[in-house]
Amino acid sequence: MEYKISNRLKIGAIVLIVLGLLGISYGFIDASSVTEDNITEFLANEDHHGDAYASDSHNSDALHVEDHHGGDAHGASHAEQDHGMSHEEHVLHQIHNRPYSALYIAAFFFFMISLGVLAFYAVQYAAQAGWSPVLFRVMEGITSYVLPGGLIVLAIAFAADSHLFVWLTDGITDVDSDKYDTLVAGKSGWLNKTGFFIRGIIFVAGWSLYRHFSRKFSVAQDNADDNRYFKKNFRIAAAFLVFFIYTESMMSWDWIMSVDPHWFSTLFGWYLLAGMLVCGVTVIAMIAIYLKSKGLLEHVNDSHIHDLAKFMFGFSVFWTYLWFSQFMLIWYSDIPEEVTYFVTRIEDYKLPFFGMIGMNFIFPLLLLMNSDFKRVNWFVIMAGVVILCGHYLDIFNMIMPATVGDRWFIGIPEIGAILFFAGIFLYVVFTALGKYPLLAKRSPFIEESKHFHY
Amino acid sequence: MEASKVIHAIYTDDDILMSAVKKVKAERFHIEEIYTPFPVHGLDKAMGLAPTRLAITAFIYGCIGITVATVMMNFIMIKDWPQDIGGKPSFSYLENLPSFVPIMFELTVFFAAHLMVITFYMRSRMWPFKKAENPDPRTTDDHFLMEIAVHNNEESLTNLLKETGAVEINIVDNNEDAH
């Protein structure tokens, strides 16, 4: 079945991009309106807004002091550096970091969807799944965002520099500088600008190469007279999965965990992977339902949607398992250098931090447990919307506390960035979907997949 | 009223059994029971059996399990003797919640699994020393048996079953194997 991106969708995507750009520019202009000259005035005005807020900010000041004492335990010079920074300077940094963080979170979120789909797609080949070949072209469409999305994330990281990654601050590894940080200096063998971008380019190149060849072989298989291309795809999928699990893990340290360079967690890569997979499967289900509602995926039936919904359910629970394992181990042992990560989140991000558990776990758990509900399209879409919003919050909770601290809000810069990348994502994905027929017609499992019934 | 006689039609292939079931259902005869050596996919649908509600009971048992765990630990750890054990905050259940979650999870699974299995045994009347209800021992090996009650229609029923490919048709007095 041929598909062409409709004009309405194209215009919709462009409108999203334009609106998003406006929001992003507003965010940058708004942030740059506060400078060293007027920061004192700005803070004074803010305190006059209301007593409730004023007392709030006093609380968080107290918290900051506590945090820094936590830092004392492992880096005396680091604590000195923080004490050296005035409150005004600290707030100014947070205000200036916000538009960069908003942009980075949204860019990473949409990139992560397509990377999750790529991993899921490779698993379908490596496992020789019999149910999913009718969805291969949908998955290939979504993975077309891996290359542009990955490059955008790297570009934002490059532009944001020390606004996102403190370890890129000038002089932080220089013993003579007043910004010197022993811990960061000790990690500079891994956390340095050259290494970060070389690794980033290797990751994105490796993923995109697999994506390129897999798509090529998948299309070639349509007109082949044997299963040569399928076998090739099987082999590269297996190799890619090995490459992926290493690079995904390193990517999570580089791109996400390094915003908090004093903190580390061993299961962080898995945790990010689980979120990635659940978002990926959700978007596969949503786009499949959309295309089916247009009558373009005649062989996709309720059972395929049911399977995808089961994966959404299962990966949601898996994500929760990893989230909880990470949280509980750190909470339980309460080691100061690790626990500050969650202290800042619970103190300053109570609603997004715990709201995310409701959205990513309790809601899908109760909604998608019933096997009849998993076959009802609007149920799957509804659960999918909540899951996607929940995982946006998940990334938000990973980045924002490290860059803007308690000065977070989901306002124009954040929503603008979401709209902007949603527009690019839709445009890229639906253009790619229109390039080849939506049925991978000579896949060896296609007959089984067409008659898949659960 | 219970029919005094039943007819046993024996098949040797599950595909033939399936088509026989469809035919018998189409002729509006009531199938009392079917004995098979292994699960035949789609047989319950063809017979028109109601879907099982075992999963719903499991969900309820799981809810009971998580309640038991919560009430138990809230009483022991928070209400009855709130000691300071290694600095854990036992002021309220919520504050110490993460350390209770593993037990809450395990008890939920434990209750859901075990009570559901016991429900299954009770609903399907299975227990040790229970007298087996096999009308024909071959049905545990390689034969399929369909049991239909006879209401003065022996001949038409026999003919119908013969047409469906039954390899053997027996008319059995119900009182013989009262179960």
What's the pLDDT at A89?
A: 87
A388: left (phi over 0), alpha (psi -120 to 50) or beta: alpha
Range A284-319 burial, b when 16+ CB lie within 10 A, else e: bbbbbbbbbeeebbebbbeebbbbbbebbbebbbbb
Q: Please indicate, yes or no, whether residues B62 and B29 belong to a single structural domain of this protein.
A: no
Nearest CA among A312, A330, A251, A301 for reference residue A135 = A301
Does some domain include residue B131?
A: no
Q: Please indicate, yes or no, whether residues B23 and B81 belong to a single structural domain of this protein.
A: no
Nearest CA among B105, B109, B104 for reference residue B69 = B104
**Number of CB pairs < 8 Å for A and B?**
12
Supply A274's token pair. Answer: 């689980």
Find the angle CA(A397)-CA(A186)-CA(A265) to the nearest 5 degrees. Answer: 35
**Does A324 sit within 8 Å of B98, measured CB to CB?**
yes
What's the pLDDT at B3?
A: 54
Supply A265's token pair. Answer: 């967690």
Residue B139 neighbours by CB distance under 10 Å: 18
Instruction: State mean pLDDT over A330-356.
Output: 94
What's the pLDDT at A67?
A: 44
What's the pLDDT at A361?
A: 96
Supply A137's token pair. Answer: 């072209």
Q: Please indicate, yes or no, whether residues B66 and B24 belong to a single structural domain of this protein.
A: no
**Does B59 sit within 8 Å of A331, measured CB to CB?**
no
Would you call B121 an interface residue with chain A, using a CB distance cutoff of 8 Å? no
**Does A334 sit within 8 Å of B101, measured CB to CB?**
no
A53 confidence band (pLDDT: 50, 70, 90): very low
Nearest CA among A108, A96, A89 for reference residue A27 = A96
Determine the Cα–Cα distance for residues A229 and A214; give it in Å rounded to an integer: 9
Measure CB to CB from residue B98 to each of A332, A369, A371 and give the nearest one.
A332
Does some domain include residue B156?
A: yes
A35 pLDDT higher than 90: no
Does some domain include residue B160?
A: yes
> What is the per-residue DSSP string for B60-77?
HHHHHHHHHHHHHHIIII
Residue A328: list chain B partners with CB under 8 A. 98-99, 101
**Does A334 sit within 8 Å of B99, measured CB to CB?**
no
Distance from CA of B54 to the nearest CA of A (A): 12
Determine the Cα–Cα distance for residues B106 and A214; give it in Å rounded to an integer: 42
A75 pLDDT higher than 70: no
A76 confidence band (pLDDT: 50, 70, 90): very low
What's the pLDDT at B156?
A: 87
Q: Please indicate, yes or no, whether residues B19 and B64 belong to a single structural domain of this protein.
A: no
Share of residues in chain A with pLDDT > 90 (%)? 79
A444 confidence band (pLDDT: 50, 70, 90): very high
Q: State the DSSP code for A436.
A: S
What's the pLDDT at A427?
A: 95
B102 pLDDT higher than 50: yes
Q: Please indicate, yes or no, whether residues B60 and B32 belong to a single structural domain of this protein.
A: no
> What is the per-residue DSSP string for chain B?
---SEEEEEEES-HHHHHHHHHHHHHTTPPEEEEE-SSPPTTHHHHHTPPPP-HHHHHHHHHHHHHHHHHHHHIIIIIII----STT---SSTTTTHHHHHHHHHHHHHHHHHHHHHHHHHHHTT--TTPPP--S-GGGGTT-EEEEEEESS-HHHHHHHHHHTT-SEEEEEETTTT--
Share of residues in chain A with pLDDT > 70 (%)? 91
Is the distance from CB of A393 to CB of A359 less than 8 angstroms? yes
> What is the per-residue DSSP string for A183-238?
HHHHHTTTS-HHHHHHHHHHHHHHHHHHHHHHHHHHHHHHT-SSSHHHHHHHHHHH
Does some domain include residue B80?
A: yes
Determine the Cα–Cα distance for residues B43 and B45; give it in Å rounded to an integer: 5
Q: pLDDT of B4-38, one tens digit each? A: 788 999 999 999 999 999 999 998 888 999 999 99
Does some domain include residue B151?
A: yes
Q: Does the pTM of the predicted model rise above 0.80? A: yes
Measure CB to CB from residue A331 to each of B55, B59, B98 and give the nearest one.
B98
Would you call A451 an interface residue with chain B, using a CB distance cutoff of 8 Å? no
Q: Please enumerate, as own/partner, the contacts of A365-368 that have beta carbons within 8 Å and a separation of 24 or more.
A: A365/A313, A365/A316, A365/A317, A368/A309, A368/A310, A368/A312, A368/A313, A368/A316
Determine the Cα–Cα distance for residues A214 and A237; give it in Å rounded to an integer: 8
B147: left (phi over 0), alpha (psi -120 to 50) or beta: beta
B176 confidence band (pLDDT: 50, 70, 90): low
Would you call B91 an interface residue with chain A, using a CB distance cutoff of 8 Å? no
Would you call B51 an interface residue with chain A, using a CB distance cutoff of 8 Å? no
Supply B164's token pair. Answer: 């469906």
The CATH number linked to B11 is 3.30.70
List the single residue in A with minimal CA-CA distance to B89.
Answer: A332
> Which residues partner with B172 through β-bridges?
B6
**Does B98 sit within 8 Å of A328, measured CB to CB?**
yes
A63 pLDDT higher than 80: no
Supply B109's token pair. Answer: 């699974």
Nearest CA among A400, A320, A306 for reference residue A357 = A320
Residue A334: list chain B partners with CB under 8 A. 87
Determine the Cα–Cα distance for residues A209 and A118; give it in Å rounded to an integer: 11
Does some domain include residue B43?
A: no
Would you call A354 an interface residue with chain B, using a CB distance cutoff of 8 Å? no
Measure CB to CB from residue A327 to each of B59, B87, B98 and give the nearest one.
B98
B175 confidence band (pLDDT: 50, 70, 90): low
Q: Please indicate, yes or no, whether residues B74 and B33 belong to a single structural domain of this protein.
A: no
List the single residue in A with minimal CA-CA distance to B85.
Answer: A332
Distance from CA of A332 to the nearest CA of B (A): 7
B155 pLDDT higher than 90: no
Is the distance from CB of B144 to CB of B134 less than 8 angstroms? no
Does some domain include residue B58?
A: yes
**Does B99 sit within 8 Å of A328, measured CB to CB?**
yes
Average pLDDT of chain B is 91
Distance from CA of A415 to the nearest CA of B (A): 33
Average pLDDT of chain A is 89
Q: pLDDT of B61-98, one tens digit each? A: 999 999 999 999 999 999 999 999 999 999 999 999 99
Residue A318: list chain B partners with CB under 8 A. none
Is the distance from CB of A112 to CB of A276 less than 8 angstroms? yes
**Domain housing B59:** 53-124
What's the pLDDT at A72?
A: 39
What are the backbone dihedrals phi and psi of residue A4, each rounded to the nearest 5 degrees, phi first? -125, 135
What are the backbone dihedrals phi and psi of residue A302, each rounded to the nearest 5 degrees, phi first? -55, -35
Residues 6+ apart with CB under 8 A from A87: A43, A61
Q: Please indicate, yes or no, whether residues B58 and B112 belong to a single structural domain of this protein.
A: yes
What's the pLDDT at A68?
A: 43
Numbers of helices and strands, H then E, in chain A? 18, 0
Nearest CA among A144, A192, A143, A195 for reference residue A168 = A192
Determine the Cα–Cα distance for residues A450 and A116; give it in Å rounded to an integer: 24
Q: Please indicate, yes or no, whether residues B84 and B60 belong to a single structural domain of this protein.
A: yes
Would you call A372 an interface residue with chain B, using a CB distance cutoff of 8 Å? no
Q: pLDDT of A372-430, one tens digit each? A: 999 999 999 999 999 999 999 999 999 999 999 999 999 999 999 999 999 999 999 99
Alpha helices in A127-181 (DSSP H): 136-143, 146-160
A95 confidence band (pLDDT: 50, 70, 90): very high
Measure CB to CB from residue B101 to each of A328, A369, A371 and give the nearest one.
A328
List the single residue in B with minimal CA-CA distance to A330.
Answer: B98
Measure CB to CB from residue A332 to each of B55, B59, B99 and give the nearest one.
B99
Q: pLDDT of A147-200, one tens digit each? A: 999 999 999 999 988 889 999 998 898 999 989 999 999 999 999 999 999 999
The tally of domains found in chain B comes to 2
Q: Please indicate, yes or no, whether residues B115 and B68 belong to a single structural domain of this protein.
A: yes
More confident residue, B74 or A4: B74
Instruction: State mean pLDDT over A79-90.
Output: 66
Q: Please indicate, yes or no, whether residues B64 and B108 belong to a single structural domain of this protein.
A: yes
A84 confidence band (pLDDT: 50, 70, 90): low
What's the pLDDT at A397?
A: 95
Q: State the DSSP code for A362.
A: I
A51 pLDDT higher than 50: no
Find the angle CA(A272)-CA(A380)-CA(A316) to the nearest 5 degrees. Answer: 25
List the single residue in A with minimal CA-CA distance to B100.
Answer: A328
**Does A369 sit within 8 Å of B98, measured CB to CB?**
no
Determine the Cα–Cα distance for residues A28 and B81; give it in Å rounded to an integer: 55
Find the angle CA(A347)-CA(A398)-CA(A192) to the nearest 5 degrees. Answer: 125
Distance from CA of B171 to the nearest CA of A (A): 38
What's the pLDDT at A3?
A: 81
Determine the Cα–Cα distance for residues A370 and A353; give it in Å rounded to an integer: 27
Q: Is the dihedral of CA B162, B163, B166, B171 positive or negative?
A: negative
Interface of A with B in 122-181 (CB under 8 A): none
A50 confidence band (pLDDT: 50, 70, 90): very low
Does some domain include residue B117?
A: yes
* Chain centre distance of CA A259: 14
Q: At what angle do helices B14-26 and B154-163 cross, to 10 degrees?
A: 140
